[in-house]
Chains A and B, each alone.
Chain A
Amino acid sequence: MLKRLLPSLLILIAFNAYAETPEEKGLAIAVESDRRDQGYGDFTVDLEMVLKNRHGDESRRKIRVATLEGKADGDKSHTIFNEPADVKGTALLTFSHKVDDDDQWLYLPALKRVKRITSSNKSGSFMGSEFAFEDIGSQEVEKYTYKFLREEACEGQTCLVMERYPVSKYSGYTRQVVWMDKAEYRPLRIDFYDRKGSLLKTLTWKDYKRYLNKYWRADEMFMLNHQSGKSTLLRWANYKFGNGLKDADFNQERLKRG
C-alpha cells in the first residue's frame, strides 16, 4: 500500500511543503526513514542483553538473530537463545505483518515442540528485559499514526521530533516521542508514555555504524525504565548483510534446527 502511495506522497511533500499538517509531516518523516532503510535484503547479528535492576544486579542473555526483509508484507525473523544455559536452543520465528498481529512460533528444545503462540501480548516483557515485544519487533510504518512536533538541536546536530501513536489496541503505550537526526533519519531517542499517560521508559541509540554504505545500525541501545529504575542494554555485534537468506530459511523446520 505504502509503496504505491510513496511517489504521490513525495510529490505532495514537494509541492505542499507549506500546507502540510503536522500529521502529514510526521508520516512523511516515518516514510522517509523507512525508505532509507529499504533494500538491505537480509542480515544476521549477535545480541547481548544486559539486564540491571535498581540495585545494580546484572543478568545477561545472549541471542542470535536472522532477519529477512519483507517486500509485500513485514519482515521475517528467527531468534535463537544461547544464554542463560537453561533456555539454550529455544528459538522464536516471527512473521511480522504491517497491520495484523504477527505470526509467531516458539520452539522448545527439551520437548522438541513447536508451539504457535499468541502475539497479542505486545506490551509483555521480552526475556524479562525492559524491552516489550512491541519495542523489539519490526517497526513497520503502519503500526503507528504520527504528528510532527518541532526541529531542535540535539547532540550537536539537528533533530526532528515527533509523536507517534500505536494503532494496536494491545499496545502498552498511549504515545511515544521520537527524536531522529535530520541528516540521516536515524532514531536517537524515544520516550514511551504508559497507558495512564505517564513517562515510563526512555530508549537511546549509541554508536551508529554504516553497513553496505547505506544502512545505519547502532552498536548499543539502552532502555531505562523511569518508574522501576531497571534498565536493559542491548549490545549488537557481528552484523552481516547479504547472506542470501530466503523464505525457506524461515520456517518451522529451520526453527527445529536451533
Chain B
Amino acid sequence: MGNDHRGLGRLVAALYFMSPVAVPAGEWSGQVGGEYRGFFEAPLFPEQHDSYFSAFAQPEYRHAWDNDKQRIAFVAFGRVSQYDEARTHADIRELNWQKSGDGYEWRVGVNKVFWGVTESQHLVDIINQTDLVENPDGEDKLGQPMINLTLVRDWGTLDFFVLTGFRERTFPGQEGRLRTAPPVDTQQAVYESSRGRRRVDYALRWHQSLGDWEVGLAHFSGTSRDPRLLPGIGSDGMPALIPYYDVIDQTSLDAQVTKGAWLWKLETIRRSGQGPAYAALTAGFEYTLSGILDSGIDLGLLAEYLYDDRGTTATTPFQDDVFAGFRLAFNDVSSSEALLGIIVDRDSDARIVSLETNRRFGKSTKLSLEARWFTGIPATDMLYSQRRDDYAQLELAYYF
C-alpha cells in the first residue's frame, strides 16, 4: 500500500470531525472469504504452482449526516495468498467525503468511478487503475485519489476530475500463474512524466440520458493506466518486463440504446501519446429472453466486436476479436446467476472461454465459481505465456 492516501485520509477525518452537526454512529459492513484457485495443467515455469489458497477481507464503513447531504465512505481490501507474494496485498478502495447540493456533487478522497456500457472489455473506463493480480478479467480496481465535481444540468451531467497521484498496475509475481514471461518487475516502473507517480491527471466527462439513449463523451489527459511492458533486467538480475507509463490523451465516446429487450452498445476511444495515435472500439448488443421455457429464468444473449487499429502491434490481445456470451439469471431466492463467454481472435485460433457463476446460501453466504480456458494461443499473442493457465476458482464469501 502506498503513502498516497495518508494526506487525504487526514483531510477526510478533519472534515468529518469538524462537522458541526451531532453525528450518529455510522455503519460497518463488508465481506470476508476464502478462495481456492486450481490449474488444470502443469505450470510452464518451475517456480509456479498447481493450486493456490488465499483469504481476503473487505471491511466497509459508511456514514451519512446533514440530512444525507454529506457522506463518508471507507472501503479497505486485503488478501493473503499462498505462494504468490504479489497477490498478498492490500489497498484502500475508498476513503472519501461526498457532499450533495442543488445540482452538484463533490467527491473528495480515494474513490472508484466506472464509465462505459460494454461487457467484454472496458475501453472507456480509465479513472481507476486495474488491480490485475486480483483477477485477470481486469474488473477489480485500485482506489484512486481524486477531487471530483459533478454538475447536473438539463443538458446533461458534467464531471470534472483532478486525479491527485497515480496508482501502479498490479501484476502476478514470480510464483504466480496467469503472468507474463518473464514476469513484470513493478519495482522498476518507468514514467514518461518527470513527476512520476506524483503527476496530477485530469479528466472531463459529459453524460446524458435522452429517451432510450445513454450517451457519454469524455477526455482524459494524464499517465496511462495500462503500461507498455518493455524487456529489461529485473532487480534480481534476471530478465524482466519493465512497466513504462506514457503520458496520454484519450477521447472517448460511449453510447447505449435500449429498445424493448435489446440493448445496443458502443464504446470507442482515440488515444495519443503511447506510440502512434490509435483508435479502438467495442460494439455489440445484449438481448434478453425473459422467462424461457415458462421457468422464470432469463437468458441474455450477448455479442460484441473488439477492434484496435494498431493490429498485431496493439498492447491488447483484442485487436480483431469477437465476443459471444450467455447470461442466465435464475431469479430465484438464492439469486443464482451464470455467465458464459467466449472471445475468438479472428486472425488466429486463439480463444478465451470464461465461466462465472454464483449463488447465495442462507442469508449472508455467497459461493462463486469461476473458470477460464485459453486455447490455440499462438506464440505471437500476448497471452502465450498463459497458454497452460486454464483454471477454476471457488470462492466462499461471508457478508456482514
Whether a CB of chain B sits under 8 angstroms from the CB of A98 is no
Q: How many A residues touch B, CB cutoff 8 Å?
A: 36
A86 and B366 form a contact (CB under 8 A): yes
B364 and A86 form a contact (CB under 8 A): yes
Whether a CB of chain A sits under 8 angstroms from the CB of B98 is yes
Nearest-Cβ distance from residue A208 to partner chain B, whole angstroms: 29
Whether a CB of chain B sits under 8 angstroms from the CB of A211 is no
Whether a CB of chain A sits under 8 angstroms from the CB of B45 is no
Task: Determine the distance from Cα of A59 to Cα of B363 in the docked complex, in whole angstroms.
Answer: 7
| Binary CB contact string for chain A from 102 to 120 against chain B (1 if under 8 A, 0 otherwise) | 0100000001111111101
Nearest-Cβ distance from residue B102 to partner chain A, whole angstroms: 7
Please classify the interface of chain B as helix (H, G, I), strand (E, B), loop, or mixed, using the class held by over half of its residues. Answer: strand
A121 and B263 form a contact (CB under 8 A): no
Whether a CB of chain B sits under 8 angstroms from the CB of A125 is yes
With a cutoff of 8 Å between Cβ atoms, the chain A residues found around residue B256 in the complex are 116
Task: Determine the distance from Cα of A217 to Cα of B209 in the docked complex, in whole angstroms.
Answer: 33
Q: How many B residues touch A, CB cutoff 8 Å?
A: 44
Whether a CB of chain B sits under 8 angstroms from the CB of A21 is no
A86 and B360 form a contact (CB under 8 A): yes
With a cutoff of 8 Å between Cβ atoms, the chain A residues found around residue B263 in the complex are 116-118
Q: Pick the contact of A252 from B139, B157, B333, B363 — CB < 8 Å?
A: B157
Nearest-Cβ distance from residue B181 to partner chain A, whole angstroms: 31
A257 and B98 form a contact (CB under 8 A): yes
Whether a CB of chain A sits under 8 angstroms from the CB of B20 is no
Q: Pick the contact of B399 from A86, A103, A123, A248 — CB < 8 Å?
A: A86
A contacts, CB < 8 Å to B: 51, 53, 59-60, 83-88, 101, 103, 111-118, 120-125, 127-128, 170, 172, 248, 251-253, 257-258
What are 5 contact pairs spanning A and B, CB under 8 A?
A85-B364, A117-B263, A128-B331, A251-B157, A253-B152
* Besides A85-B364, A86-B335, A116-B209, 20 new A-B residue pairs in contact (Cβ under 8 A), listed by A number: A85-B31, A86-B31, A86-B399, A88-B399, A112-B112, A114-B114, A116-B214, A116-B256, A118-B258, A118-B261, A118-B262, A120-B261, A120-B288, A122-B290, A124-B290, A124-B291, A124-B298, A248-B103, A251-B157, A252-B209
